[in-house]
Every structure is written in C-alpha cells, then in structure tokens.
Structure 1
Amino acid sequence: MKKTLILLAAVATIWSCSNNKSASNDKTGDNGAGTGTGPGAATTTEAPATTDVSQNPDYKKGLALVGQSDCLTCHKVAEKVVGPPYQEVAARYAGKPGIEDSLANKVIHGGSGNWGQVPMTAHPQLSHDDAVAMVKYILLLKQQ
C-alpha cells in the first residue's frame, strides 16, 4: 500500500509538471496569431526553459530518490501533511549559499524547530550525495 501511494504521488507530480509545460506553450504573446515573431516571441521560447524543471537531471534524480524513500509520508509538494510542503521549503531556502549541504544534513540527522515543534525523522541510511540530490529536487520546486 505504501509503495502504491508513493508511486501515485510521483506520477501526480510528474503529470502536474507536464501540464504546466503545455499551459506555458499556449501563451504565444501575439494574440493568437501564431507567427512566432513580434514582442512575445522571445518570451515564449524562453519560458519553458525556466518553468519546466522536470527535464533537469537534478529534478529527475531527486524525484526518484524521494519516491523510493518515506519522505512522502510527511511531505507533499504543495500541501501540508505533517511537515511543510516542498514548495514552502523551496521558497524559504532556494538560492541561499551552502543550503544544499545544510538541508542534506538535516535530512540525514533529523531535527526540529525550523517548522514548528514536530521533529523530522532522521534518515541515517541515506548517503550525503543522495540527500543532496533530494534537496536539489525540492529546491527546484520553487520555480513552479
């Protein structure tokens, strides 16, 4: 049952990301003329690169690792369960120097106090590299 839930959450995440990509492709910026020229043309070709993080190797690796772990028991991408949603974590920490290592250590060793009184369970079985990959995935969710 737990594996099914994790698989469904991963599929829903991937599906929602692909829907965001198609919505941004519909915005031509030229009032539907579809010529690909004019003021909105450059924005249209650049938008998917900045909003579609699902093709980023860090995103793919981190998503796979999160899907194989118990993270989705307490966290979801956009809604609070036990811990904060990944998008709130990304909004708070993305772009801060050295944050990936710091958060990876928090994932491995656990902790409490940053998001309320409920402690985060330690995950000592994770390697530092895997924890960093998971953190990179989470931080990429700020862009969505």
Structure 2
Amino acid sequence: MNRLLGMGMMALVGMTFACGGGEKTAETTAEATPAAPAKEMTLEEKYQDDPIYIKGIEKIKASDCLSCHMVERKIVGPSYAEVAAKYESTEENVNMLAQKVINGGVGVWGEIPMPPHLSLSEEDAKDMIRYVLLLKK
C-alpha cells in the first residue's frame, strides 16, 4: 500500500511539473533576455520621402560632391550634417552657400579649398544646398 501511495505521489508531482511547474523557468528566461535595441534611423532614412531630399540628392549624385563630402562623416570637406548644424535653412543662407559652391572657397572649414563648380547652375546649387540644410540631426 505504501508503495502504491508513493507511486501515486510521484505521478502527482510529475503531472504538476509538466502542467505548469516549469512556468518560473520560462519567466526567468524571458526576463533574462533583453530586448534588441531599436536601430537608430539614418538621416537618409529619415528624409528619403521629402521632395527637397529627392531633388537635392539626385543633383548631388550627378556631381562630384560625394568625392569630398558624406552625409554624416567628414572626409575631405565637412559632412552635410555638420553644414546643416552650422547654418539655418533660410533663403539668405541658401543663396550664400550656393554661391560658395559655384565659386569655391577656403577657410570656413579649414585650409583645404573647395574648388569652384562654375558649370553648375545657380538653381541646381540651391537645390543641393536645400538638401544639405535639411539634414539636421
């Protein structure tokens, strides 16, 4: 009889464990696994549907700008994000910066000169500058 009772208790313990006795293990595992951090959106992703972005990036890709500038990292010249941080997007700044792109310049961002882009139309230069000034972090 004791043996039968002992087997019944073992069966009851086994059923209890199988039917929910392991819940704490599942909860502990879920708590121990941190959620993956959300991927930070790049400036390109942030503005990709903006008409100013679309028009400006098209003209920049057709030029030699990307030889010296990147969106978020300085190479030869400042990054576009650095330029956007320095200048407000006003029509006065768009005009002034477009003229710098067309005529070239040196001194604002260091001693490496930006060559002139005399074949670039004023309207194309302004579209490019509007795109650059859009890229604020």
Matched, 1:17 2:44: yes
Shift of 1:94: 2.3
**Which residue in 2 is equivalent to 1:129?**
123
C-alpha distance 16-97 of structure 1, shift in aligned 2 (>3 A): closer
**Which residue in 1 is equivalent to 2:71?**
77
C-alpha distance 58-112 of structure 1, shift in aligned 2 (>3 A): same
Matched, 1:104 2:98: yes
What's the % identity of the aligned pairs?
46
What is the rounded CA distance, in whole Å, between the counterparts of 1:103 and 1:92 in structure 2?
12
3-state SS of paired residue (1:80): coil
Q: Aligned partner of 1:134: which letter?
A: M
What is the rounded CA distance, in whole Å, between the counterparts of 2:75 and 2:49 in structure 1?
27
3-state SS of paired residue (1:55): coil
What is the rounded CA distance, in whole Å, between the counterparts of 1:60 and 1:107 in structure 2?
19
Q: Aligned partner of 1:111: which letter?
A: G
What is the rounded CA distance, in whole Å, between the counterparts of 1:137 and 1:61 in structure 2?
8
Shift of 1:79: 0.8
What is the rounded CA distance, in whole Å, between the counterparts of 2:107 and 2:81 in structure 1?
18
Matches within 5 A, 1:1-144: 17-18=44-45, 52-96=46-90, 98-142=92-136, 144=137
* Regions of 4+ moved over 2 Å: 15-18, 94-97
CA RMSD between the two structures:
1.6
Shift of 1:95: 3.4
Q: TM (normalized to structure 2)? A: 0.65
3-state SS of paired residue (2:135): helix
Instruction: Specify the structure having the higher radius of gyration (Cα).
Output: 2
C-alpha distance 95-122 of structure 1, shift in aligned 2 (>3 A): same
What is the rounded CA distance, in whole Å, between the counterparts of 1:101 and 1:16 in structure 2?
23
Q: How many residue pairs align between the two structures?
A: 96
What is the rounded CA distance, in whole Å, between the counterparts of 1:91 and 1:70 in structure 2?
22
